[in-house]
């Protein structure tokens, strides 16, 4: 998984990423609310922590999300 960009604001996390299968042709966008983040987070997290998350946390969060959901639609780069 390749994280292209992510940011947290207004209680929402927006992540743009690509998978190995996407290669350099496509990316995907995932928008998670604070409640979604708490649900899918592999650790207990409070909102204040989300302003200081790293790429490893985002990858773990996406992997947990994908256990129960399909990948978002592909978008061309």
CA dihedral of residues 52, 27, 59, 14 (deg, nearest 10): 40
Tokens 């927006």 belong to 14
Taking residues 62-76, what's their average pLDDT?
95
> Do residues 31 and 40 lie in contact, with contact meaning Cβ atoms separated by under 8 Å?
no
Report how far residue 58's alpha carbon sits from residue 62's, in angstroms, rounded to the nearest whole number: 6
pTM here is: 0.91
Contact 51, 32 (CB under 8 A): no
Q: What's residue 22's pLDDT? A: 85
Number of domains within the chain: 1
Full residue range of the structural domain in which residue 59 is found: 2-76
Question: Which pLDDT value is given to residue 16?
Answer: 96
Beta partners for 6? 15
Q: What is the pLDDT of residue 77?
A: 78
């Amino acid at each position: 998984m390749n994280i292209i960009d992510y940011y947290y604001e207004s209680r929402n996390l927006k992540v743009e990423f690509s998978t190995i299968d996407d290669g350099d042709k496509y990316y995907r966008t995932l928008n998670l609310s604070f409640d979604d983040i708490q649900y899918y987070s592999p650790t207990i997290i409070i909102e204040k922590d989300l302003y200081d998350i790293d790429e490893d946390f985002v990858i773990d969060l996406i992997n947990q999300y994908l256990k129960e959901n399909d990948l978002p639609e592909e978008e061309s780069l």
